[in-house]
Amino acid sequence: MSSSGQYSYSYIFKYIIIGDMGVGKSCLLHQFTEQKFMPDCPHTIGVEFGTRIIEVHGEKIKLQIWDTAGQERFRAVTRSYYRGAAGALMVYDITRRSTYNHLSSWLTDTKNLTNPNTVIFLIGNKMDLEGSRDVRYDEAKKFAEENDLIFVEASAMTGENVEQAFLETAKKIYQNIKDGKLNANMTESGVQHKERGGPASLGDSSSSDKPNCSC
Partner 1 sequence: MADDILNEVVSPEDLTRFERLYHEELHNGSVSRMTQFNYSFCLVRSEFCADIRKGILLLEELFKTETEDIDRKRDYLYYLAIGNARIKEYTKSLKYCRAFLAIESENSQVQHLESIVKKRMETEGLKGMALAGGAVLALGGLIGLGLAMAKKGNKESGSK
Q: Which residues contact partner 1 (rule: CB under 8 A)? A: 26, 30, 38, 40-51, 64, 73, 76-77, 80, 83, 202-203, 205-206, 209-215
Radius of gyration of the chain (CA): 17
Burial (Cβ within 10 Å: 0-12, 13-18, ≥19) of residue 122: buried
- Residue closer to partner 1 (CB basis): 63 or 122: 63
CB of 10 to partner 1, least distance (A): 19
Answer for the pair 197, 21: CB distance below 8 angstroms, yes or no.
no
CB of 149 to partner 1, least distance (A): 26
CB of 212 to partner 1, least distance (A): 6
CA distance 48 to 11: 21
- Antiparallel, parallel or unpaired: β 59-68 and 47-56: antiparallel
- Residue closer to partner 1 (CB basis): 34 or 55: 34
* Torsion-angle region of 78 (φ positive above 0: left; ψ -120 to 50: alpha; else: beta): alpha
CA distance 97 to 77: 26
CB of 205 to partner 1, least distance (A): 7
CB of 113 to partner 1, least distance (A): 11
- Residue closer to partner 1 (CB basis): 1 or 213: 213
- Residue closer to partner 1 (CB basis): 73 or 196: 73
CA distance 17 to 147: 18
- Residue closer to partner 1 (CB basis): 60 or 171: 60
